[in-house]
Amino acid sequence: MAHPRPRLVLASASPRRRDLLTGAGLAPDAIEPTHIDESEIPGELPGPLALRLAQEKAVAHPGGDDAYVLAADTVVGVGRRILPKTEERGEAERCLRLMSGRSHRVHTGVALKAPDGQLTSRLVETRVKFKPLSEAELAGYLDSMEWQGKAGGYAIQGRAGCFIVNLIGSYTGVVGLPLYETINLLKGAGYPVLEAQALADSE
């Protein structure tokens, strides 16, 4: 008798993470965001913050006997400075001016809680360089509102993709979920990745 396929739960409300998983043939069975205190610890660096938040989100989800819980968090940093997830135009403008003509780093932490409660995680760092932004480009992007709720005030898969001169690392990590590392976490924890992908192809 075949065992039922375990559930894949995405503990994030991000449509970008859902779309990345679905595009990889791993559409989540449920989207159940977990809510935690995302405050920084004094002196915490961007990478460790992203990894800690992803781990805490996975742990905070109740999980279950058949559930693989996947959580992620993305933090943009310029040097040791952590940029916010921008909610106000002025905040987004400050971030974009800071990144204009220079490199910044996008840190995405991914954490997976297996049905037995075991937690595994990865941190992926990507270096992104922006072109110098003109005042017209800056104003146009701010008017687009694409920056709203985005780490560092931009979304690489939108208009801000036109600003990027160079990227070293994981494009999908900048979008919000590094697929290579995510798939390896799932496989390592025993989730039937190839079976799930084959099922998706047959539907």
Write out the catalytic residue numbers: 73
Q: How far is CA 99 from CA 94, 102, 146, in A?
A: 9, 6, 16
Task: Using alpha carbons, select from 97, 131, 117 the residue that is nearest to residue 55.
Answer: 117
Residues 6+ apart with CB under 8 A from 93: 138, 142, 153
CA angle 19, 164, 181 (to 5 degrees): 40
DSSP 3-state of 74: strand
Q: For residue 150, what are the CA distances in angstroms to 14, 75, 98? A: 10, 10, 15
What is the C-alpha to C-alpha distance for residues 108 and 72, in angstroms, rounded to an integer? 7
SS3 letters for 96-152?
HHHHCCCEEEEEEEEEEECCCCCEEEEEEEEEEEECCCCHHHHHHHHHHCCCCCCEC
